[in-house]
Amino acid sequence: MQAADITATKGIHVKVGNLEMRLAESAAEVVAAQALRYRVFYEEMKARPTPEMAAKGLDFDHFDDYCDHLLTFDHDRGSGPEAVIGTYRLLRREAAARAGGFYTAGEYDIGKLLALPGEIVEPGRSCVDAAYRNRSTLALLWNGLAAYCQHHEGLLFFGCGSLHGTDPEALAVPLSYLHHYHLAPEELRVRALDSRYVDMNILPRDAIDGRRALAALPPLLKGYLRAGGFVGDGAVIDEQFNTTDVCIIVKTDLVTDRYLKRFVPAE
């Protein structure tokens, strides 16, 4: 495998072998990302689409118009939208103001983050085609996100990380693990909105095998934590997406080159 080559192309360009990550450059590429999101979230993970989404086979909302869309391409599949195999959408402070706020604000009180000086970035709708869920693609996701935040001088990034399923009791181990081992410090500790708050402190700390609990988390959520990320206070049930969400907060200075090299080894 080749080491990642990061250069500035509209702020971000990451390439590893035949895989490339960059920002969407056309409406057709954004639609390709929305189609991938639909396949993963609605067809594979059994989220509940609106009738309009189902008719179009696309996952979309009004935030898409204000986000930068970071896409992963497999050039063995072509050079256009058909090559899109992974996506992140990224919302910065100024764009969120135009959009009416951050997506996460619909689940959490993020006032503490909004009060911070400088840029903050909200990544979301991250997904990868089932055939590409491996080390190389995870490397691109991390390199792309880190390069984007560096380019925009982002202080931190935050957003909703998801556990599959909507029964907190069935998710007692991961939720309790996150609460006991990764709760954000007070100055960054956002809290789930009162109307949606689900207590994560279900099991006592001494009832949890921390190593096994971490290993069982979804890869992207596990990656955030291994980069030094934290979670907010309380979880939120998302019935539409068939998930239980936690709020992830990662200070960008914790996402170091040393950490990223774990995912992109030299040839």
- pTM, rounded to two decimals: 0.89
Helices (H), 25-157: 27-37, 51-56, 93-99, 111-114, 135-151
Whether 195 is in a domain gets the answer yes
How far apart are the C-alpha atoms of 262 and 234, rounded to whole Å?
A: 31
Range of the domain at 189: 5-260
Which tens digit of pLDDT belongs to each residue from 33-43?
Answer: 999 999 999 99
Which tens digit of pLDDT belongs to each residue from 120-142?
Answer: 999 999 999 999 988 778 777 87
Which tens digit of pLDDT belongs to each residue from 152-193?
Answer: 888 899 999 999 999 999 999 999 999 999 999 999 999 999
CATH number at residue 217: 3.40.630.30
Whether 254 is in a domain gets the answer yes
Whether 266 is in a domain gets the answer no
How far apart are the C-alpha atoms of 1 and 265, rounded to whole Å?
A: 7
pLDDT attached to residue 8: 36
Whether 267 is in a domain gets the answer no
Which DSSP letter does residue 194 get?
T
Question: Hey, is 156 helix, strand or coil?
Answer: strand
Pairing of the two strands 68-74 and 84-92: antiparallel
Whether 72 is in a domain gets the answer yes
Q: Are 215 and 130 in contact (CB under 8 A)?
A: no
How far apart are the C-alpha atoms of 200 and 183, rounded to whole Å?
A: 10
Residue 93 has pLDDT above 50, yes or no: yes
Whether 196 is in a domain gets the answer yes
Element (H, E) at 178: helix 172-182
pLDDT averaged over every residue in the chain: 88
Of 167, 145, 159, which is closest to residue 68 (Cα–Cα)?
145
How far apart are the C-alpha atoms of 82 and 73, rounded to whole Å?
A: 9
Whether 35 is in a domain gets the answer yes
In the chain the beta strands, taken as DSSP E runs, fall at 5-7, 13-16, 19-23, 68-74, 84-92, 108-109, 119-128, 154-164, 191-192, 230-231, 236-238, 243-251
Whether 265 is in a domain gets the answer no
How many domains, the chain? 1
